[in-house]
Amino acid sequence: MSYFSVRQVSKSYDTRLALSDFSLELEKGSFLSIVGASGSGKSTLLRIMAGLEVQDAGEVFLDGEMILNPKHKLVSGYDEIKLIHQDYHLFPNSTVEENIARPLLQYDKKYAKQRVEELLGLLGLKEFRNRYPRQLSGGQQQKVAIAKALSVEPELLLLDEPFSSLDTIQTHQLISELKSLFEELGTTVVFVTHDLDDALRLTDNLLILQKGKTVQVGNSKELCEKPKSRYVARLFSPINLIPDRFNSYLRPSDVKLRSKGTLMGHVLDSRYLVHYNSLQIRLKNGGEIWEVDDPLRKYKIGDRVYLTWDEEKVMLL
C-alpha cells in the first residue's frame, strides 16, 4: 500500500456529482499538482482527503491508517494532515509569532518555542515576528498561515489554491520558496489549482481533474504531446480545428507560415510576446480564426498567409 491513498471516492451534493470514483496513490515526500477548472471538485477532494467532509463512497488511507470523516470522528480532521486555502484564518489580534504558536498550546513549552523559532527562520518571517496580520502583505500573511499549518509537523499538506489573492510574480516566488522548504522537511504535498503554470512551479507530477473525474495523469511533456482531451490540450495552449477534418487540431507553434500553400488566410491581429508574435488569422474558407506563432515576427495585420503543418503534429481530440 502506498503512503497515502484515495480509493474510489465519490461524492454528490444533492443530485450534483462533485467527485466520481476518484483514486490516487502517493509516496511519502512526493508532490502532486491537481489541475482543474472551477467546479471540477478540487476543494471537495481535498476536504475528503483531510477527513473534513463525508464522502458517499470510498476510503482514504494515510500510512496504513483509515482517515475517518466527520460522520465517524467526533473532532474532525487530523494533526498529520493540514489543509490550507485562500481564506486562511489568522488571529487579527495576535502577532505573527503568536499566530504560529497557537496550534502548539498543548505542547511542551520549550519545544513550542523552539519550533516557532525554526518556522520563523524557515519562512523568512523573523523580522515580522511582532507584527499583526494587518501589518503584512498578502504574501507574508500567506507565509504565516503556512508556518501555522506546519507548526504541528503535518505529514501531508493540502494546498487549495492558497495563492489566489497574490499577483503572479509573488505567487511564483512563494511557490519556489515553499518547494525547497517542503523538500527539506520531507512533507508530502498535494496542490490544487486551475492554473497549470502555478502547478508546474511546484512539480511536474500532474493530475488533471474534470467534472469530478481524473482525465489524465502524467508529466507535462506527456500531457502536452499526447493530451487525451481538448480540455487537457488547452491547458498548454489554444488549439486550432482543421477545417473539414474530424476533431483534428493543431497547436499555434505547430503551424508553419508560408507564402504558398493550401490553407489561406489573412492576419487579423498581431501580439508581441517574448519569443514570437502571436497572430490571429481568419481563414479564407469558412472564416474561422486560428491562433498561430510567428517566431520571425514577419507578418503584419492585413497580410495574406498560407498555413501548413506536419501531419504528425495533428492531435485527434
Ligand X SMILES: Nc1ncnc2c1ncn2[C@@H]1O[C@H](COP(=O)(O)OP(=O)(O)OP(=O)(O)O)[C@@H](O)[C@H]1O
38 binds ligand X (CB under 6 A): yes
Of 6, 31, 44, 215, the residue at the interface with ligand X (CB under 6 A) is 44
Report the distance separating Cα 294 and Cα 278, nearest Å.
6
Report the distance separating Cα 274 and Cα 247, nearest Å.
30
The answer to whether the CB of 33 falls within 8 A of the CB of 200 is yes
39 binds ligand X (CB under 6 A): yes
Count helices and strands (H / E) in the chain. 8, 18
70 binds ligand X (CB under 6 A): no
Helices (H), 213-303: 220-225, 230-236
Nearer CB in complex with ligand X: 57/301: 57
Long-range CB pairs of 206-209 (<8 Å, 24+ gap) are 206/32, 206/33, 206/34, 206/35, 207/24, 207/32, 207/33, 207/34, 207/35, 208/34, 208/35, 208/36, 208/232, 208/235, 209/34, 209/35, 209/36, 209/40, 209/41, 209/42, 209/45
What's the grid cell of residue 68? 475517518
To which residue does cell 509569532 refer?
Answer: 97
272 binds ligand X (CB under 6 A): no
Nearer CB in complex with ligand X: 55/277: 55
In the range 192-221, which residues lie near ligand X by CB under 6 A? 194
Binding piece for ligand X, criterion CB under 6 A, among 38-46, 71-79, 150-158, 182-190: 38-46
Report how many residues bind ligand X under the rule CB under 6 A.
Answer: 12
Binding piece for ligand X, criterion CB under 6 A, among 41-49, 63-71, 180-188, 293-301: 41-49
Q: How far is the CB of 20 from ligand X (least distance, A)?
A: 11
What's the grid cell of residue 235? 491547458
Of 16, 110, 260, 275, the residue at the interface with ligand X (CB under 6 A) is 16
Q: How far is the CB of 71 from ligand X (least distance, A)?
A: 15
Binding piece for ligand X, criterion CB under 6 A, among 33-41, 133-141, 255-263, 294-302: 33-41
42 binds ligand X (CB under 6 A): yes
162 binds ligand X (CB under 6 A): no
Instruction: Note the residues at the interface with ligand X (CB under 6 A).
Output: 13, 16, 18, 36, 38-44, 194
